[in-house]
Amino acid sequence: MSLTAKLNVAFFAVVLITGSAMGYLAWLLQHNNKTVTTEILGSAKALRAAAQGRAANIRMESMVHLYALDHKKESFDAKEAADEAFSASVDEALGYIKKLPNNAELLKKLDAVDHADHTYCHPVETKLMALIGKGENAKALDVINNEYVPGRKKFEASFDEFTQAIAAYNDAQMAILNERSVKGVQTGMTMIGVVFLFGLFISSRLGKFMRGTIAGMARRLGDTLQEYQKELVEGVEAMGCLLYTS
């Protein structure tokens, strides 16, 4: 194989391996960006919305107790506003969760929260507000102690499971991203190392080829010089004989 052919082979081999390495790293970067923007960022936003919903729900509970004490419209309105804020936050969290892959467990936990709210909290709060509005404080107190407080504990346990599931999902996606990134860097470095070693090998082979070529050229040049020297000596001897005979 000629020197030009070997150089072409070496060049295209290095370009092919380097291009493969760069393509793989580009794919990995794009895949990781999708994981960050979809799974990690989406679950983080869902967790933030859930935290806001929990805060609104706690505020709503406080307003229920306050309304039971002061019977003021402001307390009732504050309770209703907190209830609306809670619903909005849960809807926001649901919107983010629906966009997440492998979200079945999160949706199941959110359904449990909705079930707990409509079973233990919302109907009891409605009954409680009506009793307080009628001035039936004794009955209202009985509902608070025997229905509302126990129901709230069940609801809070369900909501805690929901937020913990979102946090676990986020942590799992972070772990997957980190593991994939480490493996990707290792694979990329391995491919770059292969390019480097291949380049050294080609350089070594080309070096031997060039040294052989130069040695051959030197041998041919030496042979030519020897032939020239021989012809020169023979010419001088012939001229000497010619001068002697004349």
Which residue in 19, 137, 167, 24 sits closest to 70, CA to CA?
137
pLDDT of amino acid 227: 60
64-105 per-position pLDDT tens digit: 889 888 888 899 999 999 999 999 999 999 999 999 988 999
Query: CATH fold of 12-188, please?
Result: Four Helix Bundle (Hemerythrin (Met), subunit A) (1.20.120)
* Domain boundaries defined on the chain: 12-188
For the chain, what is the mean pLDDT? 77
Q: Are 103 and 162 in contact (CB under 8 A)?
A: no
Is 0.85 surpassed by the pTM of this model?
Answer: no
- If one compares 82 and 217, the residue with the highest pLDDT of the two is 82
pLDDT of amino acid 112: 94
